[in-house]
Amino acid sequence: MTTSFYDNNAETYATRDRKPPTARLDAFLAALPEQARILELGCGGGQDCAYMLSKGFDVTPTDGSAALARRAEKLIGRPVKVMRFEELSTREEFDGVWAEASLLHAPRADLPDILTLIRNALKHGGVFHASFKAGTAEGQDDFGRYYNYPSREWLQELLVAGGWKDVSIREADGGGYDGKPTRWLHLAARK
């Protein structure tokens, strides 16, 4: 259902007025070596990827929606791999993984395994960023998109149990595509 939403609404979603989260991006990029290799999970319309590329980083963009991947390719001028999170199979290849507002669609029960795959894809000391809509129980929004809606405490425990280091989760108020006020969790961690 969630992927269908993005496939069916790719044009509107990808071309909406969305500015990259430059403060979060800059903090993430500052923690990486120069010309670091970055895996972006859920690149959407490609705005964040374009920003990271403009700063000289080597970005491998991915998205679970083929239609969104094609839209992102038009913006960034490079291929976007169509891939679901559970298909990640690289090992110690990336200096950083950027997953802004994407892992929030992964089923809660699958998150521990997906986080392990992300750790495996990172080089030793690699940096991980992700953001989630805060909540207490998984569910769907008005568009039928699935969200895992974790609490800060639940997410913190999951990351620590998964062996992540330097785990930091910030909370912030914001919005989303649905136009509703949203409490966001922005996490940073290191392999």
What three-state secondary structure class fits 125? strand
Residue 132 has a CB neighbour count (10 Å cut-off) of: 27
Q: Check if the beta carbon of residue 39 is closer than 8 Å to that of residue 98.
A: yes
What span, in angstroms and rounded, lies between the C-alpha atoms of 102 and 177?
A: 13
Convert the pLDDT of each residue in 137-147 to its tens digit: 999 999 999 99
Structural domains in the chain, CATH included, are: 2-13+22-135+159-173 (3.40.50.150)
What span, in angstroms and rounded, lies between the C-alpha atoms of 11 and 149?
A: 26
Residue 176 — very low, low, confident or very high, per pLDDT cuts 50/70/90? Answer: confident
- In DSSP notation, 49-111 reads HHHHHHTT-EEEEEES-HHHHHHHHHHHSS--EE--GGG----S-EEEEEETTSGGGS-GGGH
pLDDT for 12 equals 82
Kindly give the pairing relationship between strand 182-190 and strand 165-174: antiparallel
Residue 179 — very low, low, confident or very high, per pLDDT cuts 50/70/90? Answer: confident
pLDDT exceeds cutoff 90 at 77: yes
pLDDT exceeds cutoff 80 at 1: no
Q: Which of 190, 191, 172, 168 is nearest to 181 (CA)?
A: 172
pLDDT for 121 equals 98
pLDDT for 62 equals 98
On average, the pLDDT of the chain sits at: 95
Residue 188 — very low, low, confident or very high, per pLDDT cuts 50/70/90? Answer: very high
pLDDT for 43 equals 97
Q: Which two tokens stand for residue 182?
A: 């949203």
**1/188: higher pLDDT:** 188
Q: Which two tokens stand for residue 175?
A: 């919005």
Please list, in sequence order, all residues whose beta carbon lies within 8 angstroms of the beta carbon of residue 3, skipping any fewer than 6 positions away: 64, 65
Residue 87 — very low, low, confident or very high, per pLDDT cuts 50/70/90? Answer: very high
- In DSSP notation, 130-163 reads EEEE--SS-EE-TT--EE----HHHHHHHHHHTT
Convert the pLDDT of each residue in 26-67 to its tens digit: 999 999 998 899 999 999 999 999 999 999 999 999 999 999
